[in-house]
Amino acid sequence: MPQITKITPQKSKKRVNIYLDHKFGFGLDLENYLKLGLKVEQDLSEKEIAEIVKKAEYQKTLDKLLLFSSLRPRSEREVANWFWRKKVHQSLHNKLIKKLKKLEILDDSKFASWWVKQRLEFKNKSKRELISELYSKGIDKNTIEDVLSNFKVDDEKAAKKLISKKMYKWEKYELGVKNRKIGEYLSRKGFSWDVIKKIIKRD
């Protein structure tokens, strides 16, 4: 049965290294280390080691996930994609998701509200583009409709703000070409033809 022969702190001071039979065994966060009461000369069965390593991997992954989620709100699909990129074992997914929800960090409805507010305020997004972006983030149709109902999305106002920043590029063209380029630009941004016609007519 393997025996703990040495315990040393890691550089971060938040984790320790556990040595078994004079060889590195595994890393462990301080919370679990103290909770488990591990000590030098303690014998551990292979089953106990496997359970400890699983707890250690969970806490290590949770710490990284909390950092990822603190940069800005995340949708459940973004977290799932993070699991895939970081090669997080499938057995930890549900437990980590539940933990984020319990901490009120993960909520698709709150995420969608934050996303729409940011995109309207800083990016002048069209309603169609907002819907497309939310779909790409994994937000379901009903949630999107509920969230958008709480915002006044003025496509015409957003379109005017967008082209005001680009107008210098089109001023050199004659009216017909200029209007075509404005229309193509707004169309790529998801604005309807009705809105585009109003903008071109005003211009």
Q: Quick one: 47 and 11 in the same domain?
A: yes
Co-location of 182 and 168 in the same domain: yes
Is residue 143 located within the same domain as residue 162? no
One-letter amino acid at 42 equals Q
* Same domain flag for 120 and 43: no
The whole model's pTM is what? 0.75
54 and 98 both lie in a single domain = yes
pLDDT for the residue numbered 202: 64
Q: Are residues 170 and 139 in the same domain?
A: no
Q: Tell me what the pLDDT averaged over the chain comes to.
A: 92
- Asked whether residue 144 falls in the same domain as residue 57, the answer is no
Average pLDDT over residues 6-29: 91
Would you state the pLDDT for residue 5?
Answer: 97
CATH of residue 50:
1.10.10.10
60-113 pLDDT, tens digit each? 999 999 999 999 999 999 999 999 999 888 889 999 999 999 999 999 999 999
Domain count, the chain: 3
Helical residues (DSSP H) of the chain, grouped into ranges:
30-36, 46-70, 76-85, 90-102, 108-122, 127-136, 141-148, 155-170, 175-188, 193-202
Residues 58 and 114 grouped into a single domain: no
135-157 residue pLDDT tens: 999 999 999 999 999 999 899 98
The pLDDT, as a whole number, for residue 38 is 95
Report pLDDT for 203.
Answer: 56
Range of the domain at 45: 4-102
Q: Look at residue 139 in the predicted model and tell me its pLDDT.
A: 98
Q: Which of 111, 135, 150 shows the shortest CA–CA distance to 190?
A: 135
Instruction: Please determine, for residue 201, whether its predicted confidence score (pLDDT) is greater than 80.
Output: no
Q: Give mean pLDDT, residues 128-134.
A: 96
